Amino acid sequence: MSQFDNVSIIKKANIYFDGKVSSRTVQFADGTHKTLGLMAEGDYTFSTEAAELMEILAGHVEVKLAGQENWQTVVGGESFNVDANSSFDIKVTGIADYCCSYL
Amino acid sequence: MSQFDNVSIIKKANIYFDGKVSSRTVQFADGTHKTLGLMAEGDYTFSTEAAELMEILAGHVEVKLAGQENWQTVVGGESFNVDANSSFDIKVTGIADYCCSYL
């Protein structure tokens, strides 16, 4: 699915890490929301409240979930899940375009 | 208006200048579209096909329209218009969050 239909989008951007990570919030009729975002090259740690599904739309990242030792490679078209009230480390090569769903 | 309702959003980001400028395309029921984007600090030149209304949602930019000598300061909440088939130079301080309407 290349687009989301019948949604609302919050105009103001969400900006993190001095703009190296940014996103827009998309709200769905069923009350759920997702963010469409971009990560510049770099290493970041994100914490979660709700569980998350992170879909990498384009790009190449390495991810290490909280409590795990190993890094997993995730590229465009692939995704990873993060538990609620947890965190993940992520290393971005180039630019990563992502969609985050809050489960 | 802080959000757009009943729209479609293209998931894939539009990326320019090695990611220093990026945007998402929002499509409206009436067939028009806008882009919601971010510009990192820097100097850029953009060309237009359709005429454009550039709303600066947040940030501080200096703009010089094609054929003009003077730079104009545009800050969050303000906007500027660009003719069709023209161009503009823009100097961004910090991060600029914008909405571009294609007229």
Q: What is the CATH number of the domain that holds B71?
A: 2.60.120.10
Residue B72 CB-half CA count within 13 A = 12
B80 domain-assigned: yes
Mean pLDDT (whole number) for B69-97: 98
> Distances in Å between the alpha carbon of A89 and those of A62, A67, A71, A103, B9?
8, 11, 9, 19, 28
A3 domain-assigned: no
Mean pLDDT (whole number) for B50-70: 97
pLDDT attached to residue B1: 83
Mean pLDDT (whole number) for A67-87: 97
A99 touches chain B (CB under 8 A): yes
B65 domain-assigned: yes
B82 domain-assigned: yes
A2 domain-assigned: no
B60 touches chain A (CB under 8 A): no
Mean pLDDT (whole number) for A66-88: 97
B75 domain-assigned: yes
Structural domain including B26 reads 8-102
B95 touches chain A (CB under 8 A): yes
Q: Is A69 left (phi over 0), alpha (psi -120 to 50) or beta?
A: alpha
In this model, does residue B23 exceed pLDDT 90? Answer: yes
Q: Do B4 and A9 touch (CB under 8 A)?
A: yes
Mean pLDDT (whole number) for B25-53: 97
- Residues of chain B with C-beta less than 8 angstroms from the C-beta of A34: none
Which tokens is A48 given? 């979660």
pLDDT attached to residue A94: 96
B18 domain-assigned: yes
Average pLDDT, chain A: 97
Cα–Cα distance, B53 to B39 (Å, whole number): 16
Give chain A's domain count: 1
pLDDT attached to residue A1: 83
A91 domain-assigned: yes
Q: Do A6 and B1 touch (CB under 8 A)?
A: no
